A and B are shown apart, each in its own frame.
Chain A
Amino acid sequence: MRERLHVDWLINSIFVPVASVAAGFVVAGLVVAATGADPLLAFTSLFQGAVTNRNAFPETLVSTVPYVFLGLGVALGFRAGLFNIGAEGQFYIGALSGVFIAYSIHGLPAVIEIPLAMVAGMAGGFAWASIAGFLKARFGAHEVITTIMLNYVAFLVANYLVDTPGLMLARDVSTPRTPDVDVNAVLPIIVAGSRLHFGLILALVAVPLVWFLIERTTIGFQLRAVGFNQGAARAAGMSVGRTMVLAMGLSGALAGAAGIVQVLGVSRHMTDTVAAGYGFDAIAIALLARSNPWGVLPAALLFGALHNGASFMQLQTDVSADLISIVQASVIIFIAAPAIVRWIFHLRPEAAGSVQITSREAKTPV
């Protein structure tokens, strides 16, 4: 029996994700072929741009850093039964509130300035996401709709703040952006000659912390209980509503951390343009990781590599970087429908009950 469980674990946590990624590339390759381009050439340049080119791997790690935080955030939400599709908006609000602190303070040592900015960024993300948590807990408004709508509002808020003189607009700049953050708030570079910054260490620390929070603390127990069975959680005396708001807030705080780490580590200011896609990337990462914080690490690395390699691929082969969305969508399909992978590889049907990734209760209608 124990051996059977072990085999099941191997299949579910290693084989199915790896096979899903492989199948995702096959689907994407077919699409590339349909456009008349050479899929092998496209994937070769994708790999070169992600790994083997000069400085490509450090750049891949730079892209991985925000993905780790974003993936952790969405995974944490999944565990509480919440589908946080608004990580992107929380990312921007977190970056905005963090950058405000980071360019406003001066002259303090880095060990104070960086944590201050981080806390501000996470608080921003927490506050923004907990709006959706509150609306769900109090009114039953489904978080998929509210978080998407809050994304659009967040973009417009960012646009307003960064574009308006007297608010966050820097003086004497040609394109609208905030002032640069204070020198002591910048995350130090950890590999000379690259852009790889201390955020990578922070991301690596965040993984065990989030794991501990979910698996070993009372709060984590409540999150999982609410995600698994709201009725039982309520019967056990937990406040389901408060737990939802908290879970959504924590999920948003991690997305906010992604935003502020990106600002302090890479861009050092914020512009009013919005690069779309972080929210859906984060969902793909969390699903690929099966909502396990440790799984987020390899999943984020994969998506960091895809993200980074895609622009080189577009440059070299003129295949649109949007191709990685097709890889992502296919990966999610195969992950979420293990029946398909098992059917392709003739594996025996999964033991009942182990299929669920997001222990969601479909209580609120969309």
Chain B
Amino acid sequence: MSSFLSQLDPVSLLSITLITATPLTLAALGGMMCERSGVVNIALEGIMLTGAFVGYAAAFATHNLWLGVLAAIVAGMLIAGLHAVLSINFLVDQIVSGTVINILAVGITGVFYRTFIESQNRAGPGTLPQWNIPFFSDIPVLGPIFFQNQFVTYAMLALIVIVHFTLFHTVWGLRTRACGEHPRAAETAGINVYFVRYVNVIASGALAGLGGAYFSLQQIGNFLPGMTGGRGFIGLAAMIFGQWTPVGAFLASLLFSASDQVGSRLQSVFHVPIPLQFLGMLPYILTIVVVAGAMGRAVAPAAVGRLYKKS
């Protein structure tokens, strides 16, 4: 009976929803930086996978989780840099370039995982510690949800504010949005469109790379091939549903992860006779419905996905 009640506990439900929304939100924030500057980024999935792997490998080698987190971010920036080179300099179709990175990530993580990690017998680096913020973590309801988390989740919450501020209250944000809406006009106004796009694409790699660290260093303390399981694409959908705004994307990410949690609880607590597989479909179907429903009203950056050649 007590486990029944604890599983029903709305506080724990909200807490786990916030935690599992972490990689979705980070992917969505990354996609947003990128797309606001006019570059489509379907590579988020591959960037997260790379971040998850490199972060784990670095933590494994150095016995230091924080170096792992740093390595995940740097790896994300590097592979996103490839997306930038291909789509900005070589004018490769941005969808094709993103696909390349998704395939490349599977290959690179698979090959190096087999050589360096799989055969090792020693224990992994563990998971990032839970930090209880003094005083705040004791507040009923809000404490356990917001102030008893691990690093990546705190970072995600902070980054929502930072990305919002950067995009809408700084000169850089204004330039970014100008490049995404009308690159020609931006260039005429003296903005270096290539430079702005480069920085934003690489920043999106940092965000998604941190999202990757969530999987290997925060959630399970291990790396498994393909462990991101489509979360990068769901994050992209969250960005669209959130109308390319940080707060909107965060709320959309919460919705997706809640659908996942509610589904599994329906079965484990109420024994609703719905096959496990159908509950597993919920977030994916919700993503499809949301993308279809949101698209009509969405205000995408006008120049997103269009190749731009400096005049």
Name A's B-contacting residues (CB within 8 A). 31-32, 35-37, 83, 85, 135, 138-142, 144-146, 148-153, 156-157, 159-160, 163-164, 276-277, 280, 283-284, 287, 314, 318-330, 332-333, 336-337, 339-340, 355, 357-358, 360, 362, 364-366
Contact = CB atoms under 8 A, between A and B. Distances in A.
A37 B115 contact: yes
21 contacts: A37-B115, A83-B95, A135-B291, A135-B292, A140-B295, A145-B240, A150-B284, A152-B284, A153-B281, A319-B114, A320-B110, A320-B111, A320-B114, A322-B109, A325-B103, A329-B104, A336-B92, A339-B90, A365-B304, A366-B40, A366-B240
Given A142-B291, A280-B99, A318-B114, A159 B304 contact: no
Interface residues of B, number: 57
A19 B106 CA distance: 23
B176 to A, nearest CB: 16
Interface in B90-132: 90-97, 99-104, 106-116
A96 to B, nearest CB: 13
A365 B35 contact: yes
Interface of B: 35, 40, 42, 86, 90-97, 99-104, 106-116, 225-226, 230, 233-234, 236-237, 240, 275, 277-278, 280-281, 284-285, 287-288, 291-293, 295-296, 298, 300-301, 304-306
Contacts of B291: 135, 141-142, 145-146
Given A83-B95, A139-B292, A325-B104, 15 more contacts: A35-B111, A35-B112, A145-B240, A148-B230, A156-B281, A276-B226, A280-B99, A280-B102, A280-B106, A319-B115, A323-B111, A333-B92, A358-B93, A362-B94, A365-B40
B107 A365 contact: no
A160 B281 CA distance: 11
Contact of B233 (A36, A149, A330): A149
Contacts of A357: 93, 96
Given A144-B42, A276-B226, A280-B102, A366 B95 contact: yes
B107 A325 contact: yes
A326 B111 contact: yes
Contacts of A340: 90
A360 B35 CA distance: 18
A41 to B, nearest CB: 14
A111 B258 CA distance: 51
A149 B90 contact: no
Contact of B277 (A32, A36, A160): A160
Contacts of A160: 275, 277-278
B111 A319 contact: yes
A324 B274 CA distance: 39
Most buried by A among B113, B116, B237: B237
Contacts of A326: 104, 107-108, 111
A325 B106 contact: yes
A35 B287 contact: no
Contacts of B114: 314, 318-320, 322
A144 B95 contact: yes
Contacts of A332: 96, 99-100, 103
Given A140-B296, A146-B292, A322-B114, A31 B108 contact: yes
A332 B40 CA distance: 18
A276 B110 CA distance: 13
A151 B287 CA distance: 12
B9 to A, nearest CB: 28
Contact of B113 (A151, A164, A320, A355): A320
Binding site secondary structure of chain B: helix
Nearest to A163: B277
B106 A152 contact: no
Most buried by B among A31, A159, A324, A325: A325
Contact of B288 (A135, A157, A329): A135
Contacts of A366: 35, 40, 42, 95, 236, 240, 304-305
Contact of B106 (A85, A140, A322, A355): A322
A76 B75 CA distance: 35
Contacts of A152: 230, 281, 284
Contacts of A360: 93, 95
Given A280-B103, A366-B236, A156 B111 contact: no
Contacts of A328: 103, 107
A145 B27 CA distance: 14
A205 to B, nearest CB: 29
**Nearest 8 A/B pairs, CB to CB:** A322-B110, A325-B107, A365-B300, A362-B305, A326-B107, A320-B114, A329-B104, A160-B277
A337 B90 contact: yes
A352 B237 CA distance: 35
Contacts of A35: 111-112, 115-116
A227 to B, nearest CB: 13
Contacts of B288: 135, 141, 145-146, 149-150
Most buried by A among B94, B225, B305: B305
A314 B287 CA distance: 37
A12 to B, nearest CB: 16
A90 to B, nearest CB: 15
Nearest to B225: A322
Contacts of B110: 320-323, 325
A149 B97 CA distance: 20
A85 B98 CA distance: 12
Nearest to B287: A149
B15 to A, nearest CB: 25
B124 to A, nearest CB: 20
Contacts of A153: 281, 284-285
B310 to A, nearest CB: 14
Contacts of B86: 333, 336-337
Contacts of B92: 333, 336-337
Nearest to B276: A160
A135 B294 CA distance: 12
Contacts of B233: 145, 148-149
